[in-house]
Structure 1
Amino acid sequence: MPLPINQALEAIETGMHSLGRTFTAGLLRPGLPPEQTRTDLGERGLVPSDELVELYGWHDGTDALEGTTLDDMHLFPGFYFASLKEALTNYDAFRDDRRWNPDWLPVFANGGGDFLAVTCSEEPNTRGEVIHFRIEESEHPVEFASVSRLLNTVAAAYLERVYFIDEDGYLEMDDSVFSEVARRLNPDVAWWQD
């Protein structure tokens, strides 16, 4: 049974601190009022899931302070949590790209054009799905059925020590073990079951 989103977020923060990533935790911006998130997305015709609104209520992404590396910003290996303003800037840049679905909001970024995007559709069956957009690929799979499932998977990876700090001080993970955790927590998502 997945954790409620607030407990998954708390577990992620605990996991960050347990790995000594207090600097990263300190880069997380104050959260946004739910009305602001809904209004800002609604101006572009995006309909957020309640979980996405709750995520931005927790924190409004990550500050990119001068001298901060991408790894310093990573909430989980390979991705940082973009502020709503940055997510919308990236959305505007990709909106007309033939590979992009105009219902996708790029919430987590790798700094090189790949995103974990949350579907903000009027269609309730797809709203909240998390898509992995890879800039060099033509197909972009659903990797998580919801923001909650993504956050529960990240929380489990912290709690089960799948994430670790390597000898150079970077946040890394054991990909095969992470895939096992994701498969276990996302049994309804084909990406992890193949």
Structure 2
Amino acid sequence: MELSRLLLLFERDLAQFKYPYLDILQIGLSPDVVTKRLSTLHISSDLLVILYGWRNGVLDMDNRVIGQMELFARAIMLPLENAIEHYDYAITNDMWKEKLFPIFTSGGGDFLLFDANEQNQTVGQILTYSPSVTLSEEPVSIYDDMNTMFETVIECYRQGAYRFDESGFIEVDYQIEQQLSQSKNPNSEYWKLDN
């Protein structure tokens, strides 16, 4: 299924599962705006244009509780401008390689990165930068591609791996998440680690 359709399905499912924070996700940006901003970083990706055309991350992130911004486990969608700031900081400080673009954060220094480098073996994959979990400064593949990431997350909601408590915080059944994620992402290293 193409990404734009998956995102609409994801949003529909979030509403069905009573995701309490759809209203804090900003409306999407025009393709021209996304393309222009990414081009300043020498990044070109139709998938990032589609993602940020769907929604532009969480509104007013600095004034919200981390646990009440997650779209799924360990994943708060970064607004494009914040993602660019994190990208610039990471590249300047040699945290990860160029063209690994942060699209989600845990809120605690971990990131999900989209690999937009056509020269990498992992191009198109989603990698996690989470040194405290992976015990490595190198990002590790976590989803085989962006479509598979959203397919996996949708299935995690449907199978009960992700749900919300009465306070609006996400609860995770890590065993179900692990099983679903590993089966849907056979080329990703993260789900093979002993976390």
TM tier, smaller: 0.7 to 0.9
Residues 77-113 of structure 1: CA distance to partner in whole angstroms, max 9, x if unpaired?
2221001101001111111223311111111011111
Q: Is the Cα contact below 8 Å between 1:113 and 1:135 reproduced in 2?
A: no
User: How far is 1:167 from its partner?
Assistant: 5.7
Q: Aligned equivalents of 2:33 and 2:40: distance in 1? A: 11
Q: In structure 2, which of residues 82, 89, 111 is the aligned counterpart of residue 86 of structure 1?
A: 82
Counterpart in the other structure of 1:19: 17
- Shift in Å at residue 175 of structure 1? 1.0
Whole-angstrom CA distance in 2 between matches of 1:42 and 1:125: 22
What residue in structure 2 maps to residue 46 of structure 1? 43
Deviations 1:40-72 (A, max 9, x none): 111111222x22211111111111267521122
Report the TM-score when normalising by structure 2: 0.87
Residue 96 of structure 2 corresponds to residue 100 of structure 1: yes
Match of 1:182 in 2: 181
RMSD: 2.1
Contact 2:19–2:164 (8 Å) recurs in 1: no
1:32 maps onto 2:29 in alignment: yes
Paired with 2:137 and 2:118, the residues of 1 have a C-alpha distance of: 24
Note the 1:160-171 alignment, pairs <5 A. Answer: 160-166=159-165, 168-171=167-170
Q: Aligned partners of 1:18 and 1:172: how far apart in 2?
A: 17
Output the amino acid matched with 2:181. Answer: A
The code of the aligned residue for 1:100 comes to W
CA distance change for structure 1 residues 172 and 56 in 2, over 3 Å: closer, same or farther? Answer: same
Unaligned runs of 5+ in 1: none
Gaps of 5+ in 2: none
Corresponding residue for residue 146 of structure 1: 145
Q: Structure 1: how far apart are the matches of 2:169 and 2:4?
A: 26
Looking at both structures, which has the greater relative contact order when contacts are Cα pairs under 8 Å and sequence separation is at least 6?
1
In the other structure, the counterpart of 2:58 is 62
1:123 is displaced (CA, Å) by: 2.8
Distance 1:43 1:8 in 2: 28
Residues 40, 183 of structure 1: CA spacing in aligned structure 2 closer, same or farther, 3 A cutoff?
same
Q: TM-score, normalised by structure 1?
A: 0.87
Distance 1:125 1:107 in 2: 19
Among 130, 133, 143, which residue is 1:134 paired with? 130
Q: Distance in 2 between matches of 1:68 and 1:99?
A: 26
1:102-129 Cα offsets, whole Å, 9 max, x none, are 1111110111110001112143753321
Call closer, same or farther: CA 1:19–1:71 in 2, change over 3 Å: farther
